[in-house]
Amino acid sequence: MRRPRLFAMSYQSINPYNGELVGTFEEQTDPQLESAIATAATCFERWRLLSFGERAVIVAKAATILREHAEEFARPVTLEMGKLFTESMGEVMLSADILDYYATHAEGFLALERLKPESGEAVIESSPLGVLFGVQPWNFPYYQLARFAAPNLMAGNVVMVKHSGTVPQCAIAFEQLWWEAGAPDGTYTNLLISHDQVLAVIDDPRIQGVALTGGVEAARSVAARAGKNVKKSTMELGGSDAFIVLEDADLDMTVTWAVWAKMNNMGQCCIAAKRLIIVEAVADEFLEKFKAAMEALEPGDPMDESTTLAPLSSEAALVQLLKQIDEALACGATLVLGGKRLDRPGCFMQPTILTDIEPDNPAYREEFFGPVALIFRVKDDEDAIALANDSDYGLGGSVFTQDIERGKRIASRIETGMVFINHPTWTAADLSFGGIKNSGYGRELSRLGIEEFVNKKLVRVSPIDAPA
């Protein structure tokens, strides 16, 4: 594969395992940005005319390259944001699955929909909008890009992406992937740009839609700018997912899943189990088993398969979590485990458990983006549902019970975009992804994901002598 293009300065790769500066990457100038947008706009006029089959060849080829070079793609993920290498490999494979999914299913998803008017004919056509702009975060450096790029490229749009400044090598590698797959220049464009340039891109009349995955404050800025320009947008934001454990749950399996749900990607996941809501009858036993499992995690080099506790993504992320913990404790929370930085190089933090969090504690409403588990005790199903819904967020959630029908009844009353039963909230190409409230709007993945940025055009054939 071709070597990535190196720049110099504003975007930085810092290895969170040891704090070493790996490389610096320069922001693009305004003339370079203008050239990139112009190239994308020109590309769209050609790309939109290709058949689904012609576009699928390129998208499927990109999936093949990801699989054939999985370790090569996975290394910069671990290097730049500290993810366990086994998880980085899993992310590469998941990204390939998403590309293949849309290469296979896009044509069917966007097929003509024939209506049945009282007279004449009518169909709904799905046509691409144009050049789309995405702002993406660091925590899943390829998956976030794949779920934005794959459906929209297969729909006939072209995409431009401003990735996080902390994962520039991953951003460049993903752009290079499309060159290797044979995509024309401008099909997929990585932008190393400033905040001011982000706003300028949204303002540009050649940009027809905006998608952001990130925090609420970033969403307010980006969504407001898109709205000012009357442009369609989707926002996938944070979460404070409830992990509900009922008294009839298989406790050993549930604890295993609870640790995975909390510690996957070191808890730096919008759908991580942020609030563990345990029915009182099993709360003591659950906490004992959960604490023991969290204590058993071993810190080390995330490239080493024996490591089970990776660093956080950055020094800033670690400092933010420590501040949140201190505030929670000052407001009455109980520290059951951890709460401190590990005494070793890198951005390592102890797995942490907090209990006794009252509604007036800031921790009750905040999102803890890391290895911090908040445990709540409740009396019964009704209390569990009420607590799960008492959140500014509404992304995902899960319910653990051996009574599946009971689990379904509870799931239907939880105010989120996703609920899983007997499995933590997770993602797959054929499952819709998105939330409500401060977790954003719009959906990604599945059939719903490819329909966000297409024009659903009615074409009506009416008898010429039909009444007005």
Q: Residue 213's domain is classified under what CATH number?
A: 3.40.605.10
Indicate whether 2 belongs to any domain: no
Alpha-carbon distance of 147 to 433, in angstroms, equals: 10
Question: Which DSSP string do the residues of 22-61 spell out, in sequence order?
Answer: EEEEPPPPHHHHHHHHHHHHHHHHHHTTS-HHHHHHHHHH
273: tokens are 């189990």
Indicate whether 409 belongs to any domain: yes
| In a shared domain, residues 286 and 317 | yes
Report the pLDDT value the prediction gives residue 463, as an integer from 0 to 100: 86
How is the chain split among helix, strand and coil, in percent rounded to 5? 40, 20, 35
Alpha-carbon distance of 92 to 74, in angstroms, equals: 6
Dihedral sign of CA atoms 46, 52, 56, 57 in order:
negative
Alpha-carbon distance of 443 to 430, in angstroms, equals: 12
11: tokens are 């975007």
Q: CA 59 → CA 40, 44, 253, 405, distances in Å?
A: 17, 16, 38, 40
Report the pLDDT value the prediction gives residue 5, as an integer from 0 to 100: 37
CA 255-98-167 angle, 5° bins: 80
Where would I find the beta strands (DSSP E) of 296-451? 334-337, 352-355, 372-378, 393-394, 397-400, 420-421, 436-437, 440-441
pLDDT (mean) for 99-121: 97
pLDDT (mean) for 259-282: 98
Indicate whether 138 belongs to any domain: yes
Which amino acid, residue 378? Answer: V
343: tokens are 């005494």
* Residue 169 pLDDT exceeds 90: yes
Please name which of 364, 271, 263, 274 lies closest in space to residue 312, comparing C-alpha atoms: 263
* Residue 468 pLDDT exceeds 80: no
Beta carbons within 10 angstroms of residue 462's beta carbon: 11
Distance linking the first and last C-alpha atoms of the chain: 61
- The number of distinct structural domains making up the chain is 2
Query: Model confidence at 392, in pLDDT bands (50, 70, 90)?
Result: very high
Indicate whether 447 belongs to any domain: yes
- Residue 375 maps to which CATH number? 3.40.309.10
| In a shared domain, residues 107 and 250 | no
DSSP state of 349: B
| In a shared domain, residues 97 and 233 | yes
Helix (H) or strand (E) holding 263, with range, is helix 251-263
Please name which of 69, 72, 74 lies closest in space to residue 89, comparing C-alpha atoms: 74
| In a shared domain, residues 102 and 210 | yes
| In a shared domain, residues 30 and 57 | yes
* Residue 186 pLDDT exceeds 90: yes
| In a shared domain, residues 245 and 231 | no
Indicate whether 97 belongs to any domain: yes
Q: pLDDT, tens digit, for every residue of 412-460?
A: 999 999 999 999 999 999 999 999 999 999 999 999 999 999 999 999 9
Percent of the chain whose pLDDT exceeds 70: 98
Report the pLDDT value the prediction gives residue 44, as an integer from 0 to 100: 99
| In a shared domain, residues 322 and 407 | yes
| In a shared domain, residues 259 and 340 | yes
Report the pLDDT value the prediction gives residue 2, as an integer from 0 to 100: 34
Indicate whether 5 belongs to any domain: no
Domain that holds residue 189: 11-237+439-458
Per annotation, catalytic residue among 43, 170, 269, 270: 270
Report the pLDDT value the prediction gives residue 365, as an integer from 0 to 100: 97
| In a shared domain, residues 192 and 327 | no
Q: Locate tokens 């709360």: which residue?
A: 283
Find out whether 160 and 186 touch, Cβ atoms under 8 Å.
no
Alpha-carbon distance of 223 to 201, in angstroms, equals: 13
Per annotation, catalytic residue among 87, 91, 175, 236: 236
DSSP state of 5: P
Alpha-carbon distance of 43 to 273, in angstroms, equals: 42
Mean pLDDT of the chain: 96
Query: What is the chain's alpha carbon radius of gyration, rounded to the nearest angstrom?
Result: 23
| In a shared domain, residues 87 and 228 | yes
Beta carbons within 10 angstroms of residue 11's beta carbon: 22
Note if 270 is an active site residue: yes
Indicate whether 405 belongs to any domain: yes
| In a shared domain, residues 251 and 183 | no
Percent of the chain whose pLDDT exceeds 90: 96
Report the pLDDT value the prediction gives residue 3, as an integer from 0 to 100: 31
* Residue 9 pLDDT exceeds 50: no
Report the pLDDT value the prediction gives residue 467, as an integer from 0 to 100: 74
| In a shared domain, residues 229 and 347 | no
* Residue 334 pLDDT exceeds 60: yes
Indicate whether 50 belongs to any domain: yes
Report the pLDDT value the prediction gives residue 7, as an integer from 0 to 100: 32
* Residue 182 pLDDT exceeds 90: yes
The per-type count for the chain, helices as H runs and strands as E runs, is 14, 20
Report the pLDDT value the prediction gives residue 220, as an integer from 0 to 100: 96
Q: pLDDT, tens digit, for every residue of 35-47?
A: 999 999 999 999 9
